[in-house]
Amino acid sequence: MNLLDRAIGLVAPGAGLRRAQARAAIAMLARSYEGARIGRRTEGWVVAGTSANAEIGSAIARLRDRSRDLVRNNPYAAKAVQAVVSNLIGTGIMPRARAGDASLSDQADRLWARFAEACDADQLTDFSGLQALIVRTLVESGECLVRVRERRVEDGLPVPLQLQLLEPDHLDASKTGDRPGGGFVIQGVEFDALGRRRAYWLYPVHPGEVAMFRRASLTSQPVPASSVLHLFDRLRPGQVRGVPWFAPVILKMRDLDEYDDAELVRKKIEACFSAFVTGADDEETLGSASTAADGRRIESFEPGMIEYLAPGKDVKFATPSHAGGYGEYMRVQLHAIAAGVGLTYELLTGDLSQVNYSSIRAGLIEFRRRMEALQWQLLVPGLCRPVWQRFVATAQAVGALPVDPIDAEWTAPRFEAVDPLKDIRADVIAVRAGLMTLKEAIARQGYDPAHVFAEIAATNAELDALGLVLDTDPRKATPTGAPKPAE
């Protein structure tokens, strides 16, 4: 308090207290979040405190349609989808059965291999192909529905079970409100009174194809949640529907397309070598002349042509202005687009002109962390484990597998090393130091350790039977290939 505040406090304590409170409030405002202030810098910044479902419900259809249009017509959007699919799925996330009995695990693995080949309800691909299509739909549309279809035993399938992929358009987003018994529906997803998913309101056919089918196809029907897998990347608690991954950059990619087209038109105009003849008679020509539809005379030049003009005649050439910075602007915008989609600039564009070994390795490490998070937090718990559990239950119900607990260990495809020699040496050192097991090192390469060990044992036995000694055999050769001294 200054001297004036103290004097006012002595004469009128109430007024002094109010002055002190006002000063404290002003000091608090000075220390508040700048992003929450209202002023010239935040003028026009309109925000809403709505929930994730309220925001998504009013925008999801248009976001989905625009995202798909970008993938169809924008080369960078198409490349982004391909990059995510190839790095997230690759050759597929594959299971290895884990049961109390090794023979039972082998039996389950063999049956899964047969099931994976025939699990597509459309009979066009296998389980790995379905995974790739699911991820592609996730990027383009924000979510994907997998309907688990039970089949008859007489259908001749290895396991009477198949998977049908549906685009999110099949969900009836108009179904929103309360349901009997305390349940409720949000954008086609029905919940019970405890907030557990109970059913999905699905159209029998894609709404975009309704003109090809009967009108009753527009009527949605509830499908039990136990028969539907709903995959999407949850960004907020309570979120029910997914958002296309291009949502943060849709406008930027559209604007970049228009800028690129404008630059192309400008280049075409610059390439037009135009000349304007002044002071010439109507009969005088500079080059070969032709007549336009409106009667105007148009002349064109020929290579190597020399024309002598009469005194007083002149020719003026058009000089379009040159605009630089095209490449730099495109590079900056593509960096922002890559960040919004979750890729590196090099993966999005294929441009490796500004990277070295260290920079690209650091960028790929961060990108691969994102891919691994999606693999183990989205795809494995949302798709792989439920499908495996349903596969085992169905196989046991029809007698194809014994009624014993059978779990699975999932292996994601390995990421290609930037420098394989250094990475393998690092794994060898980690195994020798006890920081990693040999099984972990093999699994990181995308292989099943049990199968690798079995192949190594079989190969060593065959080599010993033939009396062959290779310098790659660690039992009989040193790391440099020299024979080991006899013990």
Domains of the chain, by residue range, sit at 55-245
Predicted TM-score (pTM) of this structure: 0.79
pLDDT tens digits, one per residue of 392-450: 999 999 999 999 999 999 988 888 777 778 888 888 899 989 888 888 888 877 777 88
Where does the pLDDT of residue 275 fall: very low under 50, low under 70, confident under 90, or very high at 90 and above? Answer: low
Residue 304 has pLDDT above 60, yes or no: no
Residue 23 has pLDDT above 70, yes or no: yes
Where does the pLDDT of residue 382 fall: very low under 50, low under 70, confident under 90, or very high at 90 and above? Answer: very high
- Residue range 330-339: mean pLDDT, rounded: 92
Where does the pLDDT of residue 1 fall: very low under 50, low under 70, confident under 90, or very high at 90 and above? Answer: low
For residue 270, count other CB atoms closer than 10 A to its CB. Answer: 14
Query: According to the model, what pLDDT value does residue 159 have?
Result: 95
Partners of residue 166 on adjacent β-strands: 145
* Burial bucket for residue 192 (CB in 10 Å: 0-12, 13-18, 19+): middle
Query: According to the model, what pLDDT value does residue 232 have?
Result: 95
Where does the pLDDT of residue 256 fall: very low under 50, low under 70, confident under 90, or very high at 90 and above? Answer: very high
Inter-CA distances, 402 with 394, 395, 481, Å:
11, 9, 48
Query: According to the model, what pLDDT value does residue 358 have?
Result: 81
The rounded distance, in Å, linking the Cα atoms of 260 and 266 is 10
* Burial bucket for residue 395 (CB in 10 Å: 0-12, 13-18, 19+): buried
Percentage of the chain beyond pLDDT 70 is 85
Q: Which two tokens stand for residue 106?
A: 């082998």
Q: Which residues contact 216 (CB under 8 A, 6 or more apart)?
A: none
Measured over the CA atoms of residue 348, residue 350, residue 354 and residue 358, the dihedral's sign is positive
Inter-CA distances, 202 with 135, 232, 486, Å:
21, 17, 72
Q: Which residues contact 343 (CB under 8 A, 6 or more apart)?
A: 80, 83, 84, 367
Query: According to the model, what pLDDT value does residue 66 have?
Result: 95
* Nearest residue to 400 (alpha-carbon basis) of 32, 37, 115: 115
Q: Which two tokens stand for residue 120?
A: 């597509």
* Nearest residue to 142 (alpha-carbon basis) of 83, 60, 207: 60
Name the pairing type of β-strands 288-291 and 177-178: unpaired
Angle at 186 between CA 180 and CA 189, to 5 degrees: 85
Name the DSSP letter for residue 211: G
Residue 45: helix, strand or coil by DSSP?
A: coil
The rounded distance, in Å, linking the Cα atoms of 85 and 90 is 7
The rounded distance, in Å, linking the Cα atoms of 79 and 347 is 8
Where does the pLDDT of residue 64 fall: very low under 50, low under 70, confident under 90, or very high at 90 and above? Answer: very high
Measured over the CA atoms of residue 42, residue 55, residue 345 and residue 383, the dihedral's sign is positive
Q: What is the maximum alpha-carbon separation in the chain?
A: 111
* Nearest residue to 348 (alpha-carbon basis) of 322, 361, 330, 362: 330
Helix (H) or strand (E) holding 299: strand 297-300
The rounded distance, in Å, linking the Cα atoms of 27 and 23 is 6
Measured over the CA atoms of residue 336, residue 342, residue 346 and residue 351, the dihedral's sign is negative
pLDDT tens digits, one per residue of 187-244: 999 999 999 999 999 998 888 876 666 555 678 899 999 999 999 999 999 999 999 9
* Burial bucket for residue 186 (CB in 10 Å: 0-12, 13-18, 19+): buried
Inter-CA distances, 422 with 327, 387, 474, Å:
35, 37, 20
The rounded distance, in Å, linking the Cα atoms of 134 and 233 is 12
Angle at 436 between CA 435 and CA 441, to 5 degrees: 150
Higher-scoring residue by pLDDT: 23, 469: 469
Query: According to the model, what pLDDT value does residue 320 have?
Result: 63
